[in-house]
Amino acid sequence: MHDISPIRAKSGTNQEGTSAHNRRVMIEALRLNGALSRADLARATQLTKQAVSNIVEDLERDGLVVALDAVRKGRGQPFTPYRLVPEGAFAIGLQIDRHLTRVVVVDLVGSVMVRAEANLPLDEPSPGVQTILGLVARVRRELAGISAQSERRLVGLGVAMPGPFGLRESDDKWMMPAWQQFPLLETLAAGTGLNVGLQNDAAACATAERIVGAAHGVDHAVCLYVGYGIAAGLILNGELYNGGNGNAGEIGRVLLSPAGPGSTPLEHRASLASLYQHLGLNPADANLYDKLAALAVAEDPKIMAWIEHAASDLRWSVHLIETIFDPQTVILTSGAPEPLARRLLQAMHPLLPSIADRPGRRLPRLQLGTTDPWAIAVGAAAEPISRAFDPRFSAILKAG
Amino acid sequence: MHDISPIRAKSGTNQEGTSAHNRRVMIEALRLNGALSRADLARATQLTKQAVSNIVEDLERDGLVVALDAVRKGRGQPFTPYRLVPEGAFAIGLQIDRHLTRVVVVDLVGSVMVRAEANLPLDEPSPGVQTILGLVARVRRELAGISAQSERRLVGLGVAMPGPFGLRESDDKWMMPAWQQFPLLETLAAGTGLNVGLQNDAAACATAERIVGAAHGVDHAVCLYVGYGIAAGLILNGELYNGGNGNAGEIGRVLLSPAGPGSTPLEHRASLASLYQHLGLNPADANLYDKLAALAVAEDPKIMAWIEHAASDLRWSVHLIETIFDPQTVILTSGAPEPLARRLLQAMHPLLPSIADRPGRRLPRLQLGTTDPWAIAVGAAAEPISRAFDPRFSAILKAG
DNA sequence: ACCATTAAGTCAATTCGCTTGACTTAATTA
DNA sequence: TAATTAAGTCAAGCGAATTGACTTAATGGT
């Protein structure tokens, strides 16, 4: 039958899928709750004690969980809590930015084990990729010195770089057109032998917040990322949403007001690019970060003026995000130094009215996320970890 | 352990879950492909022929699929295609609007079997709910006359009404404050004995487009609904996205421009409410629909002026949706008559530039969805059907 | 001090749904 | 007419969760 159009469907599942799913569910339960006894895990996952026992035994043999000391509490036999073994898995995260690249190795619980960075020649991917492969090789060697099993436990390489992806060629050199054209994933996969995934920097930031930050355990959160451009990383229904072409959340490209093609994109007014321009700074300046921090701490009038102005646009961005996504919270993250981010956050208050302004809220409408410049690389690394261990990356489905 | 904070985790699964999931996958495959042989189903779902055979046998016994005549085609034994049995399941959909309510019964494939409507007193839910219960009872009786098994095969009642839900009390009578306060779901569940679900009207519209319309088989689609207000129904990753509080997509409440609290919400400029005001029509007028259609067909200057004006705002809305969600397509739906919707669609072109304007598109950036005024009720009815038969409503998870 | 109670966790048998591989049936093509 | 191709069945096997009885080890009431 059907020799013309391909048959479309989700794939079915079998016992292998069941088991894989249940393993992931247990790992997630431990991630969310810290440490749990087998009995607790049974309650958490709705599985029987026996099933849990078997799976825990498996996980322990695989080196993903360990037993802690037994705890006496109340009546009944003392229980033995289990927790995740951080060195049970590793992933490499790679941030590619306009003039610099960062590589980190994170473990199963999202802690950074190794980090390395290097400058990149602007928009010259061929030599750039060599630099990157060198860094990756270096962190792998370093990791091998820390954990003997490291290579076997390396689950993948996650890449984060500024989006959007796959558009017609751009003449804007800040959009990294040469990198956009370059067969990056293939080259990295070939050069490292690892599974490679790609996301934009805001998405990576959101992933980082989800695994170790403010979005930990929150199913609906949007991460507003103020970097060279601005974008939103979307955690919807507990998972990262990428859109049809990996470009969801590119909020900085929203044209302000319905006026027409002539109007300004949001990120021309409220991004760090606009700040550099406002201050007459060179974005490639190596001391940029420290300079900005100093200016912010000193409450320099020029930077305060920018903050005031940018905050007004960002306030509207939050309003937009709240109105459109109805998240439980919005997290402000930034490539900017913390003092600057903190002042920006303050200047964004009071927030605009929106449907988020409802009775009985449990989380703040807007909160500050990480301002660690390494967060994007960490988020990039978290992606392969999630792919390997998170139940939301449907392990139930049979391999396609 | 953990007697303080509750344990958090997804639930595990077992063979029952596996089986339920596989049944759903098969139903989805048939829904998407029309009719498939067992061998085709095995290929589509990655299950073995044997597993498929068993499940098909089950589904056939349950009256959800039937065999068609065997088909000879090419070498090999002739195959027997199976298709869904429309009367294998029914659901009731209920639209509650400001001054009217519509009830439909749809079958497994989304066809309308019975319909009924009645006027509602504006913002008086107590008598209103009696009217509704009367209508529901009536359509159930009618359905029983059509299909003997109908009551046993009724999977639920889906309700659609204008959002947003759960805000502080509003004084805007068009937001139906009394209905918002009323314990609607409980009353309907008690009065009908059915499972009751709720979504906003744009979401229902999107669900309708997904099951029988332009979003059929499309995993990332946004439905821009122009009704009394405007809102977006979001199909993300193949499923409806509701947000943290069921209010995702309330795009009409976006304040235009970052200016501040004083600025106008989008829907004050581009909704049918604005049209009624512009034309000096009473929204409760029973002939409104026909009047609008006549004006649009006649290209009345006043309505054309509104179209021009609204199109500019809607064009921006599409730009916003494309930029933020990166969908494969945007579908324009409306409570307005088709001639008006069609002119509105035309006036929205050319669209604003956005990341959706990419090479190699397969679907149009913007297309016209249904203009059937019953679509919202149909979408409301589709929700319980999906909940009962769609693999995306994770049947794998054990009951919580 | 003792025993009933509570709870964690194991053991062994069972169940259930998918898989495996051989087999049957029925068409086309050389 | 025989080889080939493909749909579909049969029967045994397997794997993962379930079931229910059992063991272990603590607390709390008398």
In this model, does residue A172 exceed pLDDT 80? no
Mean pLDDT of A34-44: 95
pLDDT tens-digit map of A220-276 = 999 999 999 999 999 999 899 999 999 999 999 999 876 555 678 999 989 999 999
A358/B7 touch (CB, cutoff 8 Å), yes or no? no
Write down the pLDDT at residue B400.
46
Nearest to B46 among A323, A325, A400 (CB): A400
Cβ-defined contact of A250 to B323 (cutoff 8 Å): yes
| Cα Rg of chain A (Å, integer) | 23
A394 min Cα distance to partner chain B (Å): 10
Tell me which residue of B383, B399, B375 sits closest to B197, measured CA to CA. Answer: B383
The distance of B59 to chain A (nearest Cα, Å) reads 15
pLDDT the model gives residue A400: 45
Nearest beta carbon to residue B358 from set A168, A249, A316: A168
The pLDDT of residue B1 is above 80: no
| DSSP E strands, A48-195 | 65-67, 82-84, 90-96, 100-107, 112-119, 154-161
- DSSP string of A180-224, one letter each residue: HHS-HHHHHHHHH-S-EEEEEHHHHHHHHHHHHSTTTT-SSEEEE
pLDDT of A47 > 60? The answer is yes
Q: Which of A89-98, B40-49, B211-220, B369-378 has the lowest mean pLDDT?
A: B211-220
List the single protein residue with the shortest CA to C1' distance from D23. A77
pLDDT tier at A360, thresholds 50, 70, 90: confident
Interatomic distance A17 CA / D20 C1' (Å): 27
Which single residue has its CA nearest the C1' atom of nucleotide D10? B50
Q: Which nucleotides of C are covered by protein (CB under 7 A)?
A: 5-13, 16-21, 25-29
CB contact under 8 A, A253 and B39: no
Out of A181-195, A358-372, B208-222, B383-397, pick the least confident. Answer: B383-397
Nearest Cα of chain A lies from the Cα of B135 at a distance, in angstroms, of: 33
pLDDT for the residue A17: 93
Chain A nearest CA to B184, separation (Å): 20
Q: Is B66 exposed, middle or buried (0-12, 13-18, 19+ CB in 10 A)?
A: middle
Q: What is the pLDDT of residue A259?
A: 59
Q: Report the pLDDT averaged over residues A322-350.
A: 97
Closest among A16, A10, A27 to A391, alpha carbons compared: A27
Q: Report CB contact under 8 Å: B248, A315.
A: no
Distances (CA, A) of B188 to A82, B105, B137: 45, 16, 11
Phi and psi at residue B20, to the nearest 5°: -60, -40
User: What's this model's pTM, rounded to 2 decimal places?
Assistant: 0.92
Whether the beta carbon of B80 falls within 7 A of nucleic chain D: the reply is yes
The whole-number pLDDT of residue A159 equals 98
pLDDT score recorded for residue A198:
96
The nearest alpha carbon in chain B to A325 belongs to: B248
pLDDT value for A171: 63
Is pLDDT of A2 > 50?
A: no
Burial tier of B64 (Cβ tally within 10 Å: 0-12, 13-18, 19+): buried
Instruction: Give the integer Cα–Cα distance in Å for A225 and A317.
Output: 11
Query: Shortest CA–C1' contact from B73: which nucleotide?
Result: C27
B350 preceded by cis ω (within 30°)? yes
- The Å distance, CA of A75 to C1' of C3, is 14
- Find the Å distance, CA of residue B387 to C1' of nucleotide D12: 37
- Which residue would you say has higher pLDDT here, B279 or B171? B279
Contact B115, B104 (CB under 8 A): yes
Q: Of A1-5, A300-304, A322-326, B396-400, give the lowest mean pLDDT range.
A: A1-5
- Residues of A within 8 A of B257 (CB-CB) are 256-257, 316
pLDDT at B3 over 60: no
Count of residues for chain B? Answer: 400
Structure tokens, B162 = 């204008």
Mean pLDDT, chain A, rounded, equals 92
Which tokens is A10 given?
């989700």
Quick check: B8 and A32 CB within 8 A?
Answer: yes
CB < 7 A to strand D: residues 19-78, chain A: 19, 22, 47-51, 54-55, 72, 74-78
Using pLDDT thresholds of 50, 70 and 90, give the confidence band for residue B112. Answer: very high
Tens digit of pLDDT for each residue in B343-381?
999 999 999 999 999 888 999 999 999 999 999 999 999
d(CA A208, CA A200): 12
Closest of A369, A18, A353 to residue A224, by C-alpha: A369
What is the average pLDDT across A156-165? Answer: 94
